[in-house]
Amino acid sequence: MSQSIYSGEKAAEYALRYALVPNPSYQYFSSHGDGGGDCTNFISQCLHAGGAAMAFGTSSPWWYNNMGTSQTDDDKHSISWAVANSLYWALRTRYEKKIPGIKAQEVDDLGLLRIGDIIQYENIGGAIYHSAIITSFWFGLPLITQHTYNAANISYIKSAAYKMHFMKIIVD
Residue 145: give its domain's CATH number: 3.90.1720.10
- Reference 41, options 72, 106, 95, 86; nearest CA is 86
Domain-embedded: residue 2 = no
Under the banding of pLDDT at 50, 70 and 90, the label for residue 36 is confident
Domain-embedded: residue 122 = yes
Residue 85 phi/psi, 5° resolution?
A: -60, -40
Q: Does residue 72 surpass a pLDDT of 60?
A: no
Domain-embedded: residue 20 = yes
Q: Which residues make Cβ contacts (< 8 Å) with residue 44, sequence separation at least 6?
A: 62, 64, 77, 80, 81, 82, 87
pLDDT score for 10:
98
Range with top average pLDDT, 31-35, 74-78, 120-124: 120-124
Domain-embedded: residue 31 = yes
Express each pLDDT in 113-168 by its tens digit: 999 999 999 999 999 999 999 999 999 999 999 999 999 999 999 998 999 999 99
Provide the residue range defining the domain that includes 124.
8-171
Q: pTM for this structure? A: 0.91
Domain-embedded: residue 137 = yes
Domain-embedded: residue 13 = yes
Side-chain-side CA neighbours of residue 108 (13 Å): 0
Domain-embedded: residue 97 = yes
Side-chain-side CA neighbours of residue 2 (13 Å): 8
Side-chain-side CA neighbours of residue 122 (13 Å): 15
Domain-embedded: residue 1 = no
The answer to whether residues 140 and 41 touch, using CB atoms and an 8 Å cutoff, is no
User: How many domains would you assign to the chain?
Assistant: 1
CA distance 82 to 40: 5
DSSP bridge pairs for 49: none
Task: Write the single-letter amino acid at 64.
Answer: Y
